[in-house]
Amino acid sequence: MAGPLTMTPAAPHRIAVIGGGPGGLYAAALLKRLDPAREVTVWERNAPTDTFGFGVVLSDETLGGIRDADPVVYEALSCDLVRWDDIDVVHRGHRTRSTGHGFAALGRRRLLEILHARCTDLGVRLRFRTEAPPAETLAADHDLVIAADGVHSRTREAHADHFGPRITTHRCRYIWLAADFAFDAFRFETAETEHGVMQLHAYPYEAGASTVIVEMREEVWRAAGFPELDEAESTARCAKIFAEALGGRELRANNSAWTAFRTVVNTHWSYGTTVLVGDAAHTAHFSIGSGTKLAVEDALALARAIGGHPTLPEALAAYEAERRPVVASTQRAAAASLHWFEELAGRVDRPPRRFAFDLLTRSRRVTHANLRLRDPVFTADVEADFGCPPGTPPMFTPFRLGGLTLRNRIVVSPMDLYVAEDGVPGDFHLVHLGSRALGGAGLVMTEMVCVSPGGRITPGCTGLWTDGQADAWRRITAFVHDQAPGTALGVQLGHSGRKGSTRRMWEGIDQPLPEGNWPLVAASPLPYRPGVNQTPYALDRAGLAAVREEFTAAARRAARSGFDLLELHCAHGYLLSGFLSPLTNHRTDAYGGDLDGRLRYPLEVFDAVREAWPADRPMTVRISATDWAEGGTSAEDAVVIARAFADHGADAIDVSTGQVVPEETPAYGRSYQTPYADRIRNELGVPVIAVGAISSWDDVNSLLLAGRADLCALARPHLYDPHWTLHAAAEQDYRGPAAPWPAPYRAGSRRPPTGRRE
């Protein structure tokens, strides 16, 4: 948080606030405090004592901002805050406690009382039991209108064409309740009922009371009969389900109703002199305790922006510029947490401590490294359960994949280089792959190696359709095996399908060649970009057989070249991926239609390659677990696809996403693809390779310990630093056999000093 608020002379004078929740009240108080001559009015349709929910959680960061902005409010809050450090995770009768987390909470009603009193002392007009006029009406005679009217904001909906709201309703139902005793920790508990898994979130908010939230998937809620129960009946039923957690005590309600969480995102937060704050502007799932926190921080940022800029448009722009990145980060963390609870049923079979670690790290804000600082005993127990030898980080534990033992869990992800001549890998490939093998990764993957000239993406793609290409690859595998012993080298075989005959990435990604284009083949005659890319020919029976034979011939050459592992590329919209997705496969024969039909040809190719590939060497498959597009491959489809390949002998599934259709809308973010790997791993019990914006060794350790992945593949970090794995070992003070420094490099195995500090 920034320092104390200041005022400039050109700030707005008459201010209207719609909504008397914490965000609206605190914004009113701060703006009035900045300039006592202002006229600030808050409209709240409920009575002063009306409130929904029970307790609110505030972070130390938020409290620090309040302290700097208004010590009076901070002191009042400090008198009522309940603080605790522990989280209890209760699962299948086993309680796992983790400490060192640091929470502060108080009653929502008490928070409102403090803010009411502060507003009154400052001279803010509080108009309770009064519906606010529309923002457009208020704007006619006010300099600024603050819309703090919540998740169902009428202001936002009235001007939706300007704010651009996007609202997503999620898959769980939840209800806010309270218990008349204080839990001694933040408690998460699962209940596996005949109707499905239910979960409890509970925390103290005053000396004799706790917030209790009960949540479950929509289908579980319906099967359990909750839609037919009134408030009292639902409350009693929840108390019975979680009787052990409550010690047999009752729960109480407060206008409590089952609801589905809605994530609110707005393209713009202001329109003219009207600005959104809190839930009207954005929401983040309650499981990371962020709603009131975000609203209060919005108020702080808005007041600071108004106090620091000469005009209102500049102030509103500055407010949004400051808050949007913070809110987006919080919403990403909240989305990960929300998704974790939505998929809880797929996690309940994990051992108690691993389950607890998985829960604690679900949002990616708590990681293995900071858990080791917060609670070293708990973290050491989880590491021991995982099988980490003493002093060994999770990423440096070996992993057996088929007949191959990898010395650590790091994979250099396939990265297309586009610098081959006639499909022959050259010195650039030798240096690229060799340097990363020397850099310590357990498995180094080639780029997609094409099985035919017509299966190339660009003229610069490597291949394995000739013996000369195989000889060139043998030069590289020999270097890796001789100079980086213990490093495995894998080959990824693929065919471009409809995404071929394009320029190199830096010359125009997915753009056709200016000349010399070759004909394309695909599952269906659908161009990748209509009007840009050429229309491919739909493979007929003879074409299907010919391409299948190209794959098997390439696999035989790959074996002779000395590769340790083979991966079949069935992702990213290339040929085999094009058969899997309903967006790219419109066939009406046996190779189209339902998912079984769309799987048929990729499985035929897999079987042929598996037979050609040595039985003692592992084979993996890369899939796109979602197309990020309506009507495309879903997460449920991905599980079916992964199961089919595993049943046919795949040793692991490399779980990527997207790049199938150009109109995709990925939900980018840190480790954003790992939930798909997590689901496949834990529903099927098949090893998975997780990919997608994994950039830190801390994230790798967290994903492995939580049971979301067996191996982690990183691309860009290995472009930035070919020795990423060795440096990760050095930064964790690990010097064991899973990350050996080549003899000529050992003098560099310690981080060099960066400068002198007095």
Token code pair at residue 612 = 């050609």
Helix 291-308 to helix 312-342 angle, to the nearest 10 degrees? 170
Task: Describe the chain by its helix, strand, coil percentages, rounded to 5.
Answer: 40, 20, 40
Helices (H), 123-280: 135-141, 154-158, 160-163, 218-223, 231-241, 243-246
Helix 376-386 to helix 352-360 angle, to the nearest 10 degrees? 120
Integer Cα distance of 655 and 605 in angstroms: 19
Contact present, 409 and 710 (Cβ < 8 Å):
yes
Q: Which long-range contacts (CB under 8 A, 24 or more apart) does 307-310 make?
A: 307/5, 307/6, 307/7, 307/8, 307/11, 307/34, 308/6, 308/8, 309/8, 310/8, 310/10
Beta strands across the sheet bearing 103-107? 55-57, 103-107, 82-84
Helix 724-731 to helix 697-705 angle, to the nearest 10 degrees? 80
Token code pair at residue 530 = 């209509």
Give me the catalytic one of 574, 591, 676, 734: 574
Token code pair at residue 658 = 């997207």
> In terms of Cα–Cα distance, which of 5, 84, 20 is closest to 52?
20
Helix 108-122 to helix 22-34 angle, to the nearest 10 degrees? 20
Integer angstrom CA distances of residue 320 from 268, 269, 297, 316: 8, 7, 12, 6
For the chain, what's the residue count?
758
User: Tokens 């840190």 label which residue?
Assistant: 670
Q: Which residues neighbour 512 within 8 Å (Cβ) at sequence distance 6 or greater? A: 501, 502, 503, 532, 533, 534
Is residue 734 part of the annotated active site? The answer reads no
What is the chain's Cα-based Rg? 29
Integer Cα distance of 327 and 316 in angstroms: 16
Contact present, 165 and 266 (Cβ < 8 Å):
yes
Query: Annotated catalytic sites, by residue?
Result: 574
